[in-house]
Chains A and B, each alone.
Chain A
Amino acid sequence: MNDFIHGSLYGGGIIVVLLTVTAMALWFERKMAGRMHSRLGPTIVGPFGLLQPVADVVKLLQKEDITPEKADAALFNLAPPMGAIAAIAVAAVIPFSSSIVAADLEVGVLYLLAIGALGVLPVFIAGWGSNNKFAMLGGMRAIAQSVSYEVPLVLAAMVPVILSGSMKVSDIVAYQAAHHWMVTWPFFLGIPAFAIFMLAMLAEANRIPFDIPEAESELVAGITTEYTGMKFALFYVAEYVHTLVASAVGAALFLGGWDGPFAPGIWWMVAKTLVLFAFIYWTRYSLLRFRSDQLMALCWRWLVPTGVVLVAASAVWVVFAG
Chain B
Amino acid sequence: MAVNEEPKAALATASRTHTSDDAGHFQHPLYQVTLQTPGLSVGTAVFDDLMTWGLKNALWMFPMATSCCGIEFMAGAASRVDMDRMGVIIRATPRHADVMVVAGTITTKMAPRVLKLWEQMPEPKWCIAMGSCAISGDFYRNLYSVVPGIDTFLPVDVYVPGCPPNPEALMAGMIKLQEKISLQRTGKFVTPEVKPELLKITNPSVPRLNDPARRPEQNHEQELSADSPTVDEATAPLEVAAEGPAPELSPLTSPDFEGLLKELGIAELPKDGPPIIPLEQHLALARKLKSLGYRQLVTIAATHWLAGKGRKGADEAEPEHFEIAYALRTVGMGSRVAAWAVRVKAGQPVLTLSGIFAGADWQEREQYDLLGVTFAGHPDLRRLMLTENYVGHPLRREFPADAHWAPWR
Assess whether B123 is in contact with A63, with CB atoms less than 8 Å apart: yes
Counting CB contacts under 8 A, is A43 at the interface?
yes
Contact with A along B286-307 (1 / 0, CB 8 A): 0000000000000000000000
Given contacts A34-B84, A52-B58, A221 and B122 within 8 Å (CB-CB) = no
Residues of B near A37 (CB, < 8 A) are 78-79
Assess whether B95 is in contact with A225, with CB atoms less than 8 Å apart: yes
Residues of A near B84 (CB, < 8 A) are 30, 34, 39-42
Assess whether B92 is in contact with A45, with CB atoms less than 8 Å apart: no
Among candidates A40, A54, A227, residue contacting B54 with C-beta atoms closer than 8 Å: A54
CA–CA, A52 and B57, complex, Å: 7
Assess whether A228 is in contact with B96, with CB atoms less than 8 Å apart: yes
Give A73 Cβ to nearest chain B Cβ, in Å: 15
Residues of B near A41 (CB, < 8 A) are 82, 84-85
Contact with A along B28-57 (1 / 0, CB 8 A): 000000000000000000000011011111
Given contacts A54-B54, A65-B122, A221 and B96 within 8 Å (CB-CB) = yes
Assess whether B82 is in contact with A34, with CB atoms less than 8 Å apart: yes
Residues of A near B50 (CB, < 8 A) are 58
Counting CB contacts under 8 A, is B124 at the interface?
yes
Assess whether B54 is in contact with A42, with CB atoms less than 8 Å apart: no
Give A37 Cβ to nearest chain B Cβ, in Å: 6
Given contacts A37-B78, A37-B79, A228-B122, A56 and B95 within 8 Å (CB-CB) = no
Assess whether B82 is in contact with A229, with CB atoms less than 8 Å apart: no
Residues of A near B96 (CB, < 8 A) are 221, 224, 227-228, 232
Residues of B near A51 (CB, < 8 A) are 57
Assess whether B95 is in contact with A44, with CB atoms less than 8 Å apart: no
Counting CB contacts under 8 A, is A6 at the interface?
no
Give A29 Cβ to nearest chain B Cβ, in Å: 11
Given contacts A52-B58, A55-B57, A40 and B95 within 8 Å (CB-CB) = no
Counting CB contacts under 8 A, is A99 at the interface?
no
- Which A residues, 211 to 269, have Cβ-Cβ distances below 8 Å to chain B? 216, 220-221, 224-229, 232
Given contacts A37-B78, A62-B124, A43 and B92 within 8 Å (CB-CB) = no
- Which A residues, 183 to 221, have Cβ-Cβ distances below 8 Å to chain B? 216, 220-221
Assess whether B85 is in contact with A42, with CB atoms less than 8 Å apart: yes
Counting CB contacts under 8 A, is B86 at the interface?
yes
Counting CB contacts under 8 A, is A38 at the interface?
yes
Assess whether A232 is in contact with B87, with CB atoms less than 8 Å apart: no
Counting CB contacts under 8 A, is A81 at the interface?
no
Contact with B along A17-60 (1 / 0, CB 8 A): 00000000000001000100111111111000101101111111
Counting CB contacts under 8 A, is B98 at the interface?
yes
Counting CB contacts under 8 A, is B202 at the interface?
no
User: What residue in chain A is nearest B96 (Cβ atoms)?
Assistant: A232
Assess whether B95 is in contact with A43, with CB atoms less than 8 Å apart: no
Give A178 Cβ to nearest chain B Cβ, in Å: 47
Contact with A along B92-112 (1 / 0, CB 8 A): 110110100000000000000
Assess whether A39 is in contact with B78, with CB atoms less than 8 Å apart: yes
Given contacts A40-B85, A49-B85, A55 and B54 within 8 Å (CB-CB) = yes
Assess whether A38 is in contact with B79, with CB atoms less than 8 Å apart: yes
CA–CA, A63 and B95, complex, Å: 10
Counting CB contacts under 8 A, is A3 at the interface?
no
Most A CB contacts (10 A, CB to CB) among B78, B85, B89, B93 go to: B93
Given contacts A57-B54, A62-B54, A65-B122, A42 and B93 within 8 Å (CB-CB) = no
CA–CA, A24 and B125, complex, Å: 26
Residues of A near B98 (CB, < 8 A) are 59, 63
Assess whether B122 is in contact with A44, with CB atoms less than 8 Å apart: no
Most B CB contacts (10 A, CB to CB) among A39, A60, A225 go to: A39
Assess whether B58 is in contact with A55, with CB atoms less than 8 Å apart: yes
User: What residue in chain A is nearest B83 (Cβ atoms)?
Assistant: A39
CA–CA, A199 and B124, complex, Å: 40
Give A287 Cβ to nearest chain B Cβ, in Å: 20
Give A272 Cβ to nearest chain B Cβ, in Å: 29
Give B79 Cβ to nearest chain A Cβ, in Å: 5
Residues of A near B93 (CB, < 8 A) are 220-221, 224-226
CA–CA, A51 and B58, complex, Å: 10
User: What residue in chain A is nearest B95 (Cβ atoms)?
Assistant: A228
Among candidates B53, B78, B82, B86, residue contacting A58 with C-beta atoms closer than 8 Å: B53
CA–CA, A224 and B85, complex, Å: 25
Counting CB contacts under 8 A, is A66 at the interface?
yes
Counting CB contacts under 8 A, is A318 at the interface?
no
User: What residue in chain A is nearest B56 (Cβ atoms)?
Assistant: A55
Assess whether B87 is in contact with A52, with CB atoms less than 8 Å apart: yes
Residues of A near B79 (CB, < 8 A) are 37-39
CA–CA, A58 and B58, complex, Å: 9
Known: A30-B89, A55-B57, A56-B58; 16 extra A-B contacts, CB below 8 A, are A37-B79, A39-B78, A49-B85, A51-B57, A54-B54, A55-B54, A58-B51, A58-B54, A58-B55, A59-B55, A59-B98, A63-B122, A64-B122, A65-B122, A221-B92, A224-B93
CB-CB nearest 9 A-B residue pairs: A58-B54, A64-B122, A59-B58, A55-B57, A39-B82, A228-B122, A64-B123, A59-B54, A56-B58
Give residues in B with beta carbon < 8 Å to A: 50-51, 53-58, 78-79, 82, 84-87, 89, 91-93, 95-96, 98, 120, 122-124
Mind listing 16 A-B residue pairs with CB under 8 Å? Answer: A34-B84, A39-B84, A40-B82, A40-B85, A49-B87, A52-B57, A52-B87, A55-B54, A55-B57, A55-B87, A58-B55, A61-B54, A220-B92, A221-B96, A227-B95, A232-B96
